[in-house]
Structure 1
Amino acid sequence: MPDELLYREGGSGEKMTEAESLALISQMIQSARDEHHENGRGWRTWGWILFIASAGTFLMLEYEVKGSYFLWNLALPVGIFFMVLAGLRRKKIRKNLTYAQELLDRIGLGFFASLLAMVVGVNVFFIFSTSEGGIDFWGFFYILYGFWMYIHGSALKFRPLVYGAILNWIAGIAMFGVPEMKYKMLIGAVAVLLGYLVPGYLLYFQSKRQKK
């Protein structure tokens, strides 16, 4: 437990009791739950980006449209752009982040760094590989998405996000058994629709009810 949590507010130097420390931690976690993605905006934004990329790629492959993968090349930079905007907006509104809020933000940063590393790694493989065979990597992306959702769903104690995480894990595993790319994208679109967008809109409607 951080040392600063052991002393009462006001700088008196008097140690807090165990019950007071637990109450403070509980209040801090509750504050983070109320503050972090309270209206599901982040999940709805990423949900639409990933859904359009997945469903769009499926349709382009189904109708044999050239350049079908350009949607995925756009998805990550567009998503990061919106994420940075949201971070700047939040810091303008509230400069002092709670410990739990800052921890969730750092987990999100680690997730996107891992995602970017995977994208770079896949591109490096295709640039330098001399093998005629491809690399079946799409399932790993959705397994990683599931990890991100599970962490946030657990922290917020919001079950739809946890269920969405499980759905994305299942979708990621299923993709390794599906040979055709267009059906991988169809599986991904369904997983994002039910795993990202549905929980995101549930959070949005929940926040609307709480404000009434």
Structure 2
Amino acid sequence: MEKQFNSSESLALITEMIQKAKKEAAGDGSFQFLLWGWVIAICNFGHYGLAKSGFEMPYVVWLAIIPASIWSFTHAYRERRKARLKSHLDDMLGQLWITVFSAMIIVLAFMGTLGFNHSPVILVLAGIGVFCSGALIKDKSVKLGGLVLFLGAIVGFLMPIDEQYLVAGVSIVLGYLFPGYLLKSKFKNRV
């Protein structure tokens, strides 16, 4: 025999189900923040260090993006396939980051036209992605990370090109890694 719920029990059950669905939909978004935060920070700091030491091709460190991209896309694909709940939020976040990534590729393709002042522009684009992600998942620390990236872009535009890599590295640590670790901690507490 099925149990009959009164109105407050029904409301409590519905609320609990919605909360569970929100938790699963939001997932542990920290993976991408942490992966890209570490890779991009290391590449920026590596480029800066190599350029300051007089290395002829400091940009070689950016080849680390290739395996990181493969790992990122593979992880996202696997997570999407095993998710029991595919939400509009997941689709929005995916489309947002595909758009940001595409814009970054365009900027990098024309970095010579930009006088190699591409790092601050990349920070602006990353800031848009991070801030909007924070708004979509309703997380203030992620939104703050986006604002940090915007501030880093402003500082970067005021610096010589080699120094922009140092500014970008620090901005990525503060704007990607800190929010990423906070998301990871919040996810562990939710589950």
Normalising TM by the smaller chain, what interval? 0.7 to 0.9
Distance (whole Å) between structure 2 residues aligned to residue 39 and residue 87 of structure 1: 10
Which residue, 86, 90, 106 being the options, matches 2:95? 106
- Between the aligned residues of both structures, percent identity stands at 18
Distance (whole Å) between structure 2 residues aligned to residue 137 and residue 41 of structure 1: 25
Which residue, 57, 60, 65 being the options, matches 1:70? 60
Are the equivalent residues in 2 in contact too, given 1:32–1:100 (CA < 8 A)? no
SS in 2 for 1:64: coil
The list of structure 1 runs, each at least 4 consecutive aligned residues, that deviate by more than 4 angstroms after superposition, is: none
For structure 2, the residue ranges without an aligned partner over 5 or more in a row are 1-13
More helix by share: 2
Flag the 1:31–1:79 CA change in 2: closer, same or farther, 3 A: farther
SS in 1 for 2:73: helix
Alignment of 1:13-162 (within 5 A): 27=18, 31=21, 34-75=24-65, 77-94=66-83, 97-122=86-111, 125=113, 134-162=115-143
The alignment's TM-score, normalised by the length of structure 1, stands at: 0.74
Structure 1 residue 192 corresponds to structure 2 residue 182? no
SS in 1 for 2:57: coil
Task: List per-residue Cα deviations over 1:52-86 (Å, max 9, x = no partner).
Answer: 111111111222222101123442x3343122112
Q: How many aligned positions are there?
A: 176
The alignment's TM-score, normalised by the length of structure 2, stands at: 0.81
Distance (whole Å) between structure 2 residues aligned to residue 147 and residue 31 of structure 1: 26
Tell me the C-alpha RMSD between the 2 structures. Answer: 2.4
| 1:14 corresponds to | none
Flag the 1:142–1:32 CA change in 2: closer, same or farther, 3 A: farther
Are the equivalent residues in 1 in contact too, given 2:21–2:85 (CA < 8 A)? no
